[in-house]
Chain A
Amino acid sequence: MKASLDWLDNRTGYKKLLHETLFENVPGGARWRYAWGSTLVFCFTVQVVTGLFLWLAYSPSSQTAWESVYYIQYEMWGGWFLRGLHHFTAQAMTVLLVFHLMQVVIDGAYKAPREVNFWTGVLLLLLTLALSLTGYLLPWDQKGYWATAVATNIAAITPVIGPAVQTIVVGSADYGHHTITRFFALHAGVIPGGIIAFIVAHIYLFRRHGITPKEPRRRPDAAFWPDQVFRDAVVCLAVLAVILFFVIRHHGAPLDAPADPSEPYDARPEWYFLFLFQLLKYFPGTTEIIGAIILPTILMGVLIAMPYLGRWKLGHRFNVAFLWAMLGGVGMLTYLAMAEDAKNVEYQHGVQVAKRDAARVVELARGGIPITGAVTLLHNDSLTQGPKLFAQNCASCHRYDGHDGLGKQPKDEVSGADLKGFGSREWISGLLDPARIDTPQYWGGTHFKEDSDMVKFVKDTAEYNPAQKEELRKAVIALSAEAKLGSQAAADVRDAKLIEDGKAAMSGTLLGCTDCHKFNEVDNAGDGPDLSGYGSREWLVAFISDASHERFYGERNDRMPAFGPDKTLTEHQIGLVADWLRGDWARPAPAK
Chain B
Amino acid sequence: MDSSHVPPPTDRRSFLTKAAAVVIGGIVAVVPPLAGLMVLVDPLRRKSETSGAVKVGSLSSLPENGEPVKLPVIATRVDAWNRTPNVAIGSVYLQRTGPNQVRALNSVCPHAGCSVGFRPGQNHYFCPCHNSSFATDGRILDPKSPSPRALDELPVEIRNGNEVWVKFQNFRKGVSEKIPV
Q: Is the CB of A70 within 8 A of B81?
A: yes
Interface status of B45 (Cβ within 8 A of chain A): yes
Q: Is the CB of B4 within 8 A of A219?
A: yes
* Among candidates B17, B32, B83, residue contacting A49 with C-beta atoms closer than 8 Å: B32
Q: A70-B81, A369-B82 are in contact. Are A77 and B21 (CB under 8 A)?
A: no
- Give the residue name and chain of the A residue nearest to B80 (CB): A71
- Give the residue name and chain of the B residue nearest to A72 (CB): B39
Interface of B is mostly: helix
Q: A219-B4, A369-B81 are in contact. Are A230 and B20 (CB under 8 A)?
A: yes
Interface status of A85 (Cβ within 8 A of chain B): yes
Q: A67-B82, A226-B18, A368-B82 are in contact. Are A233 and B25 (CB under 8 A)?
A: yes
Q: Is the CB of B35 within 8 A of A233?
A: no
Bound state CA distance, A200 and B137, in angstroms? 65
Residues of the B chain whose Cβ atoms lie less than 8 Å from the Cβ of A219: 2, 4, 6
Report, as a range, how many residues of chain A touch the other chain: 35 or more
Interface status of B179 (Cβ within 8 A of chain A): no
- Give the residue name and chain of the B residue nearest to A47 (CB): B32
Bound state CA distance, A324 and B181, in angstroms? 62
* Interface-located stretch among A234-242, A276-284, A343-351: A234-242
Residues 361-412 (chain A) with a chain B CB within 8 angstroms: 365, 367-371, 374
Q: Mark B32-43, 1 if CB is under 8 A from A, else 0.
A: 110111111110
Q: Mark A62-90, 1 if CB is under 8 A from B, else 0.
A: 00100110111001111101100100000
Question: Which of A75, A365, A371 lies at the interface centre, i.e. has the most chain B CB atoms within 10 A of its CB?
Answer: A371
Q: A70-B81, A240-B31 are in contact. Are A77 and B39 (CB under 8 A)?
A: yes
Bound state CA distance, A263 and B84, in angstroms? 25
Residues of the A chain whose Cβ atoms lie less than 8 Å from the Cβ of B1: 32
Q: A219-B6, A229-B21 are in contact. Are A367 and B83 (CB under 8 A)?
A: yes
Residues 1-57 (chain B) with a chain A CB within 8 angstroms: 1-2, 4, 6, 8-9, 14, 17-18, 20-21, 24-25, 27-28, 31-33, 35-42, 45
Bound state CA distance, A371 and B77, in angstroms? 11
- Give the residue name and chain of the A residue nearest to B76 (CB): A368
Residues of the B chain whose Cβ atoms lie less than 8 Å from the Cβ of A112: none
- Give the residue name and chain of the A residue nearest to B19 (CB): A226
Q: Is the CB of B21 within 8 A of A233?
A: yes
Interface status of A218 (Cβ within 8 A of chain B): yes
Question: Which of A225, A226, A365 lies at the interface centre, i.e. has the most chain B CB atoms within 10 A of its CB?
Answer: A226
Residues 16-48 (chain A) with a chain B CB within 8 angstroms: 31-32, 42, 45-46
Question: Which of B9, B20, B39, B81 lies at the interface centre, i.e. has the most chain A CB atoms within 10 A of its CB?
Answer: B81
Residues of the B chain whose Cβ atoms lie less than 8 Å from the Cβ of A31: 2
Q: A32-B2, A226-B14 are in contact. Are A76 and B36 (CB under 8 A)?
A: no
Question: Which of A54, A85, A225, A230 lies at the interface centre, i.e. has the most chain B CB atoms within 10 A of its CB?
Answer: A230
Interface status of A53 (Cβ within 8 A of chain B): yes
Residues of the B chain whose Cβ atoms lie less than 8 Å from the Cβ of A32: 1-2
Q: Is the CB of A226 within 8 A of B81?
A: no
| Nearest CB of chain B from residue A467's CB, rounded to whole Å | 55
Interface status of B78 (Cβ within 8 A of chain A): yes
| Nearest CB of chain A from residue B13's CB, rounded to whole Å | 10
Bound state CA distance, A220 and B28, in angstroms? 29
Interface of A is mostly: helix
Instruction: List the count of A-B residue pairs having beta carbons below 8 Å apart.
Output: 110
Residues of the A chain whose Cβ atoms lie less than 8 Å from the Cβ of B41: 77
- Give the residue name and chain of the B residue nearest to A45 (CB): B32
Q: Is the CB of A237 within 8 A of B36?
A: no
| Nearest CB of chain A from residue B27's CB, rounded to whole Å | 6
Bound state CA distance, A225 and B21, in angstroms? 9
Residues of the A chain whose Cβ atoms lie less than 8 Å from the Cβ of B14: 226
- Give the residue name and chain of the A residue nearest to B83 (CB): A368
Q: A77-B39, A226-B18, A233-B21 are in contact. Are A68 and B2 (CB under 8 A)?
A: no
Bound state CA distance, A368 and B87, in angstroms? 15
Q: A32-B1, A218-B2, A234-B24 are in contact. Are A53 and B39 (CB under 8 A)?
A: yes
Residues of the A chain whose Cβ atoms lie less than 8 Å from the Cβ of B6: 219
Residues of the B chain whose Cβ atoms lie less than 8 Å from the Cβ of A371: 82, 84
* Among candidates A67, A82, A370, residue contacting B35 with C-beta atoms closer than 8 Å: A82
Bound state CA distance, A62 and B119, in angstroms? 44
* Among candidates B17, B81, B83, residue contacting A75 with C-beta atoms closer than 8 Å: B81
Q: Is the CB of B35 within 8 A of A76?
A: no
Q: Is the CB of A78 within 8 A of B39?
A: yes
Interface status of A50 (Cβ within 8 A of chain B): yes
Residues of the B chain whose Cβ atoms lie less than 8 Å from the Cβ of A225: 18, 21
Residues of the B chain whose Cβ atoms lie less than 8 Å from the Cβ of A3: none
Residues of the A chain whose Cβ atoms lie less than 8 Å from the Cβ of B45: 77
Q: Is the CB of B32 within 8 A of A77?
A: no
Residues of the A chain whose Cβ atoms lie less than 8 Å from the Cβ of B27: 237
- Give the residue name and chain of the B residue nearest to A57 (CB): B39
Interface status of A52 (Cβ within 8 A of chain B): yes
| Nearest CB of chain B from residue A528's CB, rounded to whole Å | 44
Bound state CA distance, A42 and B24, in angstroms? 13
Bound state CA distance, A236 and B42, in angstroms? 29
Interface status of A260 (Cβ within 8 A of chain B): no
Bound state CA distance, A219 and B38, in angstroms? 45
Q: A67-B81, A219-B6 are in contact. Are A81 and B35 (CB under 8 A)?
A: yes
Residues of the A chain whose Cβ atoms lie less than 8 Å from the Cβ of B78: 368
Question: Which of B4, B14, B20, B42 lies at the interface centre, i.e. has the most chain A CB atoms within 10 A of its CB?
Answer: B42
Q: Is the CB of B4 within 8 A of A369?
A: no
Bound state CA distance, A178 and B83, in angstroms? 25
Question: Which of B1, B25, B35, B82 lies at the interface centre, i.e. has the most chain A CB atoms within 10 A of its CB?
Answer: B35
Bound state CA distance, A46 and B30, in angstroms? 10
Bound state CA distance, A207 and B37, in angstroms? 34
Residues 547-564 (chain A) with a chain B CB within 8 angstroms: none
Residues of the B chain whose Cβ atoms lie less than 8 Å from the Cβ of A85: 31-32, 35
Q: A82-B35, A236-B28 are in contact. Are A230 and B21 (CB under 8 A)?
A: yes
Given contacts A49-B33, A77-B45, A78-B39, 19 further A-B pairs with CB under 8 A are A45-B32, A53-B36, A56-B40, A64-B81, A77-B41, A81-B35, A82-B35, A85-B32, A225-B18, A226-B14, A226-B17, A233-B21, A233-B25, A236-B28, A240-B31, A368-B81, A369-B81, A371-B82, A371-B84
Task: Jot down 21 A-B pairs with beta carbons below 8 A, ordered by A.
Answer: A31-B2, A53-B33, A53-B36, A53-B40, A56-B40, A72-B39, A76-B42, A77-B42, A78-B35, A82-B36, A82-B39, A85-B31, A85-B32, A218-B2, A219-B6, A225-B18, A229-B25, A230-B24, A233-B25, A368-B81, A369-B83
**Which residues on A are within 8 Å of B, measured CB to CB?**
31-32, 42, 45-46, 49-50, 52-54, 56-57, 64, 67-68, 70-72, 75-79, 81-82, 85, 218-220, 225-227, 229-230, 233-234, 236-237, 240, 244, 365, 367-371, 374
List 7 A-B pairs, minimum CB-CB distance, nearest first. A368-B83, A78-B38, A53-B36, A230-B21, A233-B24, A226-B18, A82-B35
**Which residues on B are within 8 Å of A, measured CB to CB?**
1-2, 4, 6, 8-9, 14, 17-18, 20-21, 24-25, 27-28, 31-33, 35-42, 45, 78, 80-84
